Amino acid sequence: MLRVSSLQAGYGDSQVLFDVNFEVGSGEVVTLMGRNGMGKTTTINTIFGIVQARAGEVSFDGKSIKGLAPFRVAQHGLGLVPEGLQIFPNLTVRENLVATASNRMSNDNPWTLELIFDLFPTLRGRSNAMALLLSGGEQQMLAIGRALMTNPRLIVLDEATEGLAPLIRVEIWKCLERLKSAGYSILITDKNVKALTRIASRHYFLEKGRIVHCCDSATLRRDVELQHKYLGI
């Protein structure tokens, strides 16, 4: 579904990505892993056209999306949950969700407000609250809900549970397990090896802007030396 080939990108005179290659298949959960500063967020932002690619290719369903504006990338069926809880702070929860609602992929069972509130019951009681008044966990739920309201075929989450309380993390992982069971393709960055190996089929490791290793979940779970080498844990 998503294929990234020999991707290069950076900021000004600084090059961050040198040779990034990976793919996500239909219905597959895949992770990008690595220590902070290795290029995970830059990779995601380049896929979505937030950062311009200097070389390489990004394709989705066999069509190039490299160099497209972010809203055009979204129209192809990619939904982004960005790092840093980037919701619309001066809109209510309901307004945040409605603002992004679309069904360009003609999904037979599109996401609705009620379905989002069923997924995250906490948001139902906060539907008329301003988004800036939500807790960090509630904002992350809202960010995921906002992405789902675009009815994407591929969901991309950058640091899905970073900085969240343990109970909220559990809820987010349960949500991702439900989405996986529903057949969604997911690309995710996070540091929780235990949770990631439970839901993902394949893991790519970034180091200094390059993919340096790839393995399945069974290998990652049992290989403590591998975890320490690329994740510092």
- Residue-wise pLDDT for 169-193, tens only, equals 999 999 999 999 999 999 999 989 9
Percent of the chain with pLDDT over 90: 91
Total count of domains within the chain: 1
- 233 pLDDT above the threshold of 70: no
- Averaged pLDDT, 127-156: 95
- 30 pLDDT above the threshold of 90: yes
Mean residue pLDDT of the chain comes to 94
- Averaged pLDDT, 223-227: 93
Confidence of residue 104 (pLDDT cuts 50, 70, 90): confident
pLDDT tens digit sequence for 106-125 = 778 899 999 999 999 999 99
- Averaged pLDDT, 128-148: 95
- 202 pLDDT above the threshold of 80: yes
Question: CATH number for the domain including 140?
Answer: 3.40.50.300
Decide: pTM greater than 0.85: yes
Domain assignment of residue 136, given as a range: 2-231
**pLDDT value at residue 181:** 93
- Averaged pLDDT, 12-35: 96
pLDDT tens digit sequence for 46-88 = 999 999 999 999 999 999 999 999 999 999 999 999 988 789 9
The DSSP line for the chain is: -EEEEEEEEEETTEEEEEEEEEEE-TT-EEEEE-STTSSHHHHHHHHTTSS-EEEEEEEETTEE-TT--HHHHHHTTEEEE-TT----TTSBHHHHHHHT---TT--SS---HHHHHHH-HHHHTTTTSBGGGS-HHHHHHHHHHHHHTT--SEEEEESTTTT--HHHHHHHHHHHHHHHHTT-EEEEE-S-HHHHHHH-SEEEEEETTEEEEEEEHHHHHH-HHHHHHHH--
Confidence of residue 137 (pLDDT cuts 50, 70, 90): very high
Query: In this predicted model, which residue has the larger pLDDT, 17 or 233?
Result: 17
